[in-house]
Every structure is written in C-alpha cells, then in structure tokens.
Amino acid sequence: MDPLFDFSDKVVLITGGSRGLGFAMARAFAHRGAHLIIASRKLESCERAAVEIRALGQRALAVACHAGRWADIDALVAKSYAEFGQIDVLINNAGMSPVMPSSLETPEEVVDKVYALNFKGPFRLSALVGSRMMAGAGGCIVNVSSYGALRPQPEYAPYASAKAALNALTIAHAIEFAPKVRVNAILPGSFRTDIAKHWSADKESRTDAVLRRFGEPEEIVSTALYLASPASAFTTGALIRVDGGRP
C-alpha cells in the first residue's frame, strides 16, 4: 500500500456515514486499513454500514447520533474514545439542504434545524475531538461543506449560509488546533447519491458544471483521503471544490 494513503490502525469518525458520500468515504478508509465510527440518526442504518466495514476486516462502531444536538455529540465522543481510545480523522459530513419557496415562507424551525446540523454540530464535534487531538498525537478534521456556500441561491439560503459559516469555522479551527491538527473542507457540487432520487428527471441535463454531469459518490473519495493523509501534510485551512467545474 502507498505509505501516503496507508490508514492501518487509524480510527476515522464520519457523521452521516451510513449512506451516500459518507459511506463511500467510510469504505475507502476501511479498504486502506482504517477502523470506522459510523454515526447517523438511525442506528439500524449505521449497523448495516458497520457490517460491510467489518466484512473488509476492520473494526466498526455504529452510533445513533443526531449530529445537530450537542448532547448526542457528547455521547458520540464518549462512546468513540471508550471503544477505540483515539480518533485520528474526523469527517463532519452530516447535513441537510431543504429547498424553500422564499425566505418569507421559511419557518424558524427549518432555519434552526439547518444551522444545527450544518454548523452547530460540526462546531461542537470539532471542538471536542480537535482539542483531544491537539493534546495527543494530532490528527485531521475534514468538513464537508458545499459549493452552495460560494454561490448561494434564494431557495436554499439558510443551507448556503450555514455552509459558509462552516467554511469560516474550518479556517478558525485550522488556526486554533495548529500545528498538530490540520482542518480542511471539501465543497461538493451535485452528486448522484440517494438524495438525487428526489430531484427532477432533467436536473442533471441542466447542470451548469463544465463536466456536464453529476458526480458519483466515489469521486469525492480521493479528496477525503488526500486531506486525511500525510500527502497533504502542508495543507490546512483549505477549501477544496469538488463540483465538476461549477462557474
């Protein structure tokens, strides 16, 4: 195995890790020797994902966790360190992006939920794990943000602004937890995950991405591996777009 991408005996925690981009990343790390902590709201989904990781010969911990609730996050961190004694890579992947007809018609409850999952949760989880990484052997944090944070649209304004806040947090934590912890963000465009099943049939044909298509979940994997590995040892506070060339 390429030593730059050898994660043998490393422990990787992924929120929203039971499906979509999160599970694609989980499989990729497991194939390279990592043990996984898979967190999402539904325990049964986490357990199914964990079974697949264990079939690859790696340890996997499934944890039911609402990644927007600090009490759940505190419990997730406690369970993770009790099981493994370490977290080497944290990937804040859980998120939600509801589309609303207008800002005026957007309920306060929706704004609160969007900010809790896309910003407050990663803030708390990174604070807990990043501080322990800094006090220990170090580590890497990867935030999954969005192209929408750079090119916001009215129909998903709360989501875009929450992800913009996550971008700012990425830079702030890169400074706070340096030099032992590197913190970077991936800004995906549209990917063909299970969420895409709810999109209109012609959405992909209308994309403004210069590659003229949506991404496949596996196409985000190389960026996640790069940011979590020694290959990016001099990279922190970076916001890397993986969006097919959106203008």
Active site residues per annotation: 159
- CA quadruple 207, 26, 54, 75: dihedral positive or negative? negative
Question: What is residue 67's three-state secondary structure?
Answer: coil
Give the angle 218-60-219 at the CA atoms, nearest 5°.
5
Beta-bridge partners for 11: 35
The 3-state DSSP class for residue 138 equals coil
Q: Which helix (H) or strand (E) holds 182?
A: strand 181-188
Between vectors from CA 120 to CA 119 and to CA 121, what angle results, nearest 5°? 95
The answer to whether residues 214 and 191 touch, using CB atoms and an 8 Å cutoff, is yes
Q: How many CB atoms lie within 10 A of CB 207?
A: 18
DSSP 173: H
Distance of alpha carbon 121 from alpha carbon 138, whole angstroms: 21
- Tokens 């207008």 belong to which residue? 102
- 3-state class (DSSP) for residue 89: strand
